Structure 1
Amino acid sequence: MHHAQIAQRAFNTPLMIDPAKALAFLSGMGPRITGQDITFRGLDVAGYDEAAAALPARASLFGSDHARRHQQGGNQPFAVVDGIAVIEIAGTLVHRGAWIGQSSGLTSYEGIAAQLQAALADPGVRGIALDIDSFGGEVAGAFDLADRIRAARAQKPVHAFVAEHALSAGYVLASQADRIILPRTGAVGSIGVVTLHTDMSGALDQKGIAVTLIHAGAHKVDANPYQPLPQAVHNQMQRELEVVRFLFAETVAVGRGDRMTHDAALATEAAVFRGTDAIAAGLADELADPVTAFHAFAAAPRGITSTTSLSRKGPEMTTTPNDTDNAPTKPAAQTPQEPPVTATAAEAADASASEAPAIAEPAATAPAPDPAPMDAAAIRAEAAEVAQVCAQANRLGVAIDAADAVSKGLKPDSLRARVLDDLAARSDAAGIIATAPAAAAAKDSPLVAAAKQTASDAKR
């Protein structure tokens, strides 16, 4: 067993997984990875056991031959019941697993994507059922797959049948379906992110083992398991998790439309909702026995289409699915990208005012070091503000990677300055003034006001 590879995937990397599942993994695998007993701090949750079945079929991140193989020999990478393709999403979800279905209790995002592609390309498939029972898994790959599921709805109806859990990364995928059907005891949600760090320094001291880390680059050995976690590194990891949580909530909001807003998703604070509580919170659509609900889905007329009309517009993820092997034609009904800033300045002003209430004139473009240690609340607020500024910038046509900005320690003010500089350089600031006569009478957001001032100064 590749213990180093398992440790690399489990520790010091963001995970969208239920804490109970994380502790269950550590309880079972932790001693085998570290070679000794381990203790837990901060959480006290009972774990879960899972049985797994191995299916060796494999897929590739950049395409698979399942659609072609099905056309040639009738081999399907999924079950088909009355014209409905059943795609299983079970166990722990991982990136680059390269197999179809489960393998040792894991389900690969690549495998799910390959099945989804084959189902869309198969003329005999008129709908897609996601059979979900997962506590979550890795962040890497989850949002890209969510894009694919959301895009698939434009071609064929996609329903998610939860039996019994769709938590964390599992809910990221479920939230992109047209409808989510939940049993009475089913659980959904956990819209949050967690990172595991192990500190082996005490155990090594007891055994008289000293580990010397020789490295080049100040951050090369950040969060290593041989030393206690420094507060500065802890704070940086916290910032990165907050950005991923913001992205998680944004993805849920795009998938759920008016049924779950971005703010409502964040307000759940990673809580788990069951049964009727999940329906009331907007996390699921229907309370029913999954088997009965599936048969009703399969019995629908042959011309079935999406049963949910999404009126809430949301930003598309920056990554676009790009299958090269028998990929279906890109549907014209996909959610459009937000228009550039010069097209609808009033929308830009509204977005600025609603999503970045604390925007003010930027001070300097270079990030300034923290004058004093920040507490957890301040770290969370700063990371959320960075994520909001980046989301607003993307709507204005300025692409900024929020995770990259946080990892580089960029502050909100410097990001705002970067947005204004980019708009001014492309003359978009002048376009805001030229196309926003209606918004001029209203109170401008600070970002739009600063952009107007930049354009005015450029004309002098």
Structure 2
Amino acid sequence: MLPHLAARLFGTPLLVQRAKLDLILAVLSDRLNLAAPDVALAPPLPRAPNPPASPSSSIAVLPIHGTLVKRTLGLEAASGLVSYAEIGARLEAALADPLVAGIVLDIDSPGGETGGCFELARRVREAAGLKPVWAVANDAAFSAAYAIGCAAERLYVTETGGVGSIGVIALHVDQSAKDAQDGYRYTAITAGARKNDYSPHEPLHDAARAALQAEVDRLHTLFVAHVAAMRGLPEDTVRATEAALFFGPQAVETGLADGVATLAAVLAEFDRHLSAARRPSSPPRQAPTGKATVLRGTPTMTDTPSETLGVDEAAALVAEARREVAQSAQAIAELCLLAGCPERAAEFIAAGRTEAEVRRALIEARAAHSMESAVRSTHAPQDWAAPGADPAFSPVVAAVKKLVRREPLAAE
């Protein structure tokens, strides 16, 4: 297990905050026979439980807490690791749950490994096209954690929370001097000149350093492009952050977050947002002017100014429209199912009927059916009423004859 941990820490690029990396090294230094960084260790404090989701809106809160790795290999309970696969599985479960209307990512992570990070982040953005996804840096969304959080439709940060660290880091440990002191000398027999690159038992030679730097630069370029696309910022602006950390209002001013709020406040705002989206009617839209506008969040989540839409915002509006159509179609299908005519759902949806119109049509159809049932006769027609029957057997004719026989008696 120790060689595996060392291989995941050294000689490979990481998307992790430097302070957290030093903490990990301090924890593992004795077991890996390394000099520990000068970091004060403190026992982990228990986290408060997540606030309950609002029952009226069925918001799923997905915790993203701890150091992010591609696979935990059973270490998550004792080490504070959480895997991208586990987060992805929770996300898929929330998307598949018909009772979940929206998803909030509760993030408190310094970042972690590169493998699996951007795949999960892209899946978060895809998920936002199916159900609304918001995120909260509560209290840290650094490096890989920020890559995931910025893929949400909105990203908030707590007053003391931070985001950023949009950078890549890789470490190499040269313990050849310690090996010599301990009387060890390692000899690698290889095929391929680069097979022994990044060995901890010899100094890092120039070719290996250049190759590792090139990979770090490549991943940084990928990271910058990802954040720029998700946040609608120029790549030069993102690159100019130089992997710095931004806290509270500063994160909003830099464009890396949409507002400052606690998790509880975000859940309340999200509940109102979902409730408004479920309303059957909406105000009429303005005539097209050639420029689209959208309301963006601010630190107080109120008085949001309108801005010209970028490509990502336009895509978000399209996704929102698709989501509204899907929700309306689901509501219509449920109404038809309850009314006992599920086959009419496709007819209503194709006609573009609203949920209110469908409900009214189903009620009217039900009322008409009830009236028809109330006046329908249950007596079968008699033989005398059939075409060609003998009139002498008609009860009407019989009644007339009886009256005619009584007339003379009345005259007397």
Q: TM-score, normalised by structure 1?
A: 0.58
* Identity across matched positions, percent: 39
SS in 2 for 1:236: helix
Q: Would the aligned equivalents of 1:161 and 1:294 in 2 still touch at CA under 8 Å?
A: no
| Aligned positions of 1:49-128 closer than 5 A | 50=44, 80-82=53-55, 83-97=58-72, 104-128=79-103
- Once the 2 structures are TM-superposed, how far is the Cα of residue 29 of structure 1 from its aligned partner? 0.8
- Once the 2 structures are TM-superposed, how far is the Cα of residue 133 of structure 1 from its aligned partner? 0.1
**Partner of residue 14, structure 2:** 15
Match of residue 246, structure 2, among 273, 293, 304:
273
**Partner of residue 169, structure 2:** 194
**Partner of residue 204, structure 1:** 179
| Cα distance in 2 between the residues matched to 1:20 and 1:153 | 32
| Cα distance in 1 between the residues matched to 2:42 and 2:228 | 29
Measured at CA, do residues 232 and 20 of structure 1 come closer, stay the same or move farther in structure 2, by a change above 3 Å? same
Measured at CA, do residues 137 and 291 of structure 1 come closer, stay the same or move farther in structure 2, by a change above 3 Å? same
- The unaligned stretches of length 5 or more in structure 2 are 279-293, 297-306, 313-318, 324-412
- Once the 2 structures are TM-superposed, how far is the Cα of residue 118 of structure 1 from its aligned partner? 1.1
Structure 1 position 261 matched with structure 2 position 258: no
- Once the 2 structures are TM-superposed, how far is the Cα of residue 333 of structure 1 from its aligned partner? 6.0
**Partner of residue 182, structure 1:** 157
SS in 2 for 1:300: helix
| Cα distance in 1 between the residues matched to 2:309 and 2:76 | 34
SS in 1 for 2:311: coil
| Aligned positions of 1:35-46 closer than 5 A | 36-38=33-35
Q: Aligned AA for 2:251?
A: A
SS in 1 for 2:246: strand
| Cα distance in 1 between the residues matched to 2:155 and 2:87 | 18
Measured at CA, do residues 230 and 251 of structure 1 come closer, stay the same or move farther in structure 2, by a change above 3 Å? same
| Cα distance in 2 between the residues matched to 1:233 and 1:49 | 38
Q: Would the aligned equivalents of 1:100 and 1:108 in 2 still touch at CA under 8 Å?
A: no
Q: Aligned AA for 1:110?
A: A
Q: Would the aligned equivalents of 1:175 and 1:256 in 2 still touch at CA under 8 Å?
A: yes
Measured at CA, do residues 101 and 37 of structure 1 come closer, stay the same or move farther in structure 2, by a change above 3 Å? closer
> 1:358-377 deviations in whole A, cap 9, x for unaligned?
xxxxxxxxxxxxxxxxxxxx
**Partner of residue 149, structure 1:** 124
| Cα distance in 2 between the residues matched to 1:153 and 1:48 | 38
Measured at CA, do residues 221 and 51 of structure 1 come closer, stay the same or move farther in structure 2, by a change above 3 Å? farther
**Partner of residue 311, structure 2:** 313
| Matched length | 287
| Aligned positions of 1:60-459 closer than 5 A | 80-82=53-55, 83-97=58-72, 104-257=79-232, 260-302=233-275, 304=277, 311-313=309-311
**Partner of residue 374, structure 1:** none
- Once the 2 structures are TM-superposed, how far is the Cα of residue 307 of structure 1 from its aligned partner? 7.2
Q: Would the aligned equivalents of 2:25 and 2:36 in 1 still touch at CA under 8 Å?
A: no
SS in 2 for 1:112: helix
Q: Would the aligned equivalents of 1:133 and 1:165 in 2 still touch at CA under 8 Å?
A: yes
Q: Aligned AA for 2:223?
A: F
**Partner of residue 24, structure 2:** 25
| Cα distance in 2 between the residues matched to 1:21 and 1:99 | 21
> 1:207-247 deviations in whole A, cap 9, x for unaligned?
11111111111111101100011122112211110110010
Larger Rg: 2
Q: Would the aligned equivalents of 2:63 and 2:106 in 1 still touch at CA under 8 Å?
A: yes
Measured at CA, do residues 332 and 273 of structure 1 come closer, stay the same or move farther in structure 2, by a change above 3 Å? same
Q: Would the aligned equivalents of 2:125 and 2:151 in 1 still touch at CA under 8 Å?
A: yes
SS in 2 for 1:20: helix
| Cα distance in 1 between the residues matched to 2:77 and 2:269 | 27
Measured at CA, do residues 237 and 37 of structure 1 come closer, stay the same or move farther in structure 2, by a change above 3 Å? closer
Q: Would the aligned equivalents of 1:91 and 1:105 in 2 still touch at CA under 8 Å?
A: yes
SS in 2 for 1:302: helix
SS in 2 for 1:87: strand
| Cα distance in 2 between the residues matched to 1:132 and 1:45 | 24
